[in-house]
A and B are shown apart, each in its own frame.
Chain A
Amino acid sequence: MNDDTSPLEESLRSAAPLDPGAWERTRRELAARAEAEDLVDVAFERHDSPLGPILLGATPEGLVRVGLPSEDEDAVLDELARRVSARVLFAPRDAVTRARRQLDEYFGGWRRAFDVELDWRLTAGFRREVLRATAQIPYGQTASYRQVATQAGSPAAVRAAGTALATNPLPILVPCHRVLRSDGALGSYRGGPEAKAQLLCLEGAV
């Protein structure tokens, strides 16, 4: 009895191929059934954008995470598993479908505000206040880190405001790209400075 591979074992292995079409089909059906049976806590999809592929994750409450192209997709899914629920699945969900359509419109230049339910659970306390203040900055306009810190209730907490924006779980929809340094420099961005410049340029803000 040994582990040398015999011709018979080879035949057994090679006689069990999987049709890629069958696999994709059954996987889609599985996702649809899981979603229909309310077994998915975070449903996600990938969306192609001019910035690159964006990951969109939603809980039943709404969109919970937007992963920018600069972010490692595995890391984003892992974060969702740890912080929300491990029942994360690539599956269709209304909030994601709506967000995808609206992102297309936004990048096409004919949408100025998003109308999607947001789930804020990945941010809390002062950081959440900063992001809520950021969500109020209109399309095409910008604010300084100090302004959003002030709006969030702590004018001195400029650095903390920066951290809140750098860890924004919902970039683009919560437009942290509209927050600049008070000297007019772009400042940092979760998706990288080029992405920030691209978004501001799209909005005609710079």
Chain B
Amino acid sequence: MARDPLKRHTTGRTATASLPPFEWVVELHGPAVLRFCVVEVGPAGAEDCFQEALLSALRAYDAVRDAGAIRAWLFSIAARKAIDTHRARARAPEPVEDIESLAGAEENALRDDTLWAEVRALPHKQRQAVMLRFAGDLSHAEIAAVMATSEPAARRNVFEGLVQLRKGRE
């Protein structure tokens, strides 16, 4: 997307003075958040996970103080929702999905899910860092914010995740 209307909300004025219309948040960051949800919970639960995350964000939007940190904030909500999804699945293991829902999932399935299946098998921190970096397209600083860690630690998690993936592919 060529334009970045969120930019003007992060420069030259206090962040609390104005938040961008939530529509811009959806338009600019929504696709990356959905991609992150798809790799995190798989195509079947991704859209619901995405919607839950965005609804939570909309509910809490008034409390956002720094318009420049919206993207990282949005992904931390999505990461929490993904954990909720995993927990719910663990509590009530889903029956084998019927043909219909599988067909629906197929439609937005990833072209090469085997690679992401390998990512899903990584230790939690590496897995999340790699997903935020490559499905969410976040900077290392943003990954650090989402994972409540330092930027060097975030960078290391991405790096170590990639090393593990390479090892597995050799």
Contact = CB atoms under 8 A, between A and B. Distances in A.
A112 interface: no
A19, A30, A87 pick with most chain B CB within 10 angstroms: A30
B118 to A, nearest CB: 10
B55 A18 contact: no
Contacts of A85: 62
Contacts of B31: 18, 23
18 contacts: A1-B155, A6-B162, A12-B130, A15-B111, A15-B115, A16-B38, A16-B39, A16-B135, A18-B35, A18-B108, A19-B107, A21-B108, A22-B47, A30-B55, A77-B21, A78-B5, A81-B19, A86-B62
- Number of chain A interface residues as a range: 35 or more
A39 B58 contact: yes
Contact of B22 (A23, A82, A87): A87
B15 to A, nearest CB: 12
Contacts of A80: 21
Given A27-B26, A34-B55, 7 more contacts: A1-B155, A12-B116, A17-B111, A25-B47, A80-B21, A86-B62, A89-B23
A19 B109 CA distance: 8
B91 interface: no
B141 to A, nearest CB: 13
A2 B123 CA distance: 22
Interface of A: 1, 6, 8-9, 11-19, 21-23, 25-27, 29-30, 33-34, 37, 39-40, 42, 44, 74, 77-78, 80-82, 85-90
A77 B23 contact: yes
Given A13-B134, A27-B26, A29-B51, A87 B58 contact: yes
For chain B, what secondary structure do more than half of its interface residues adopt (helix, strand, loop), or is it mixed? helix
Interface of B: 3, 5, 18-24, 26, 30-31, 34-35, 38-39, 47, 50-51, 54-55, 58-59, 61-62, 107-108, 110-113, 115-116, 119, 130, 134-135, 137, 155-156, 159, 162, 165-166, 169
B19, B137, B166 pick with most chain A CB within 10 angstroms: B19
Contacts of A87: 22, 58, 61-62
Contacts of B135: 12, 16
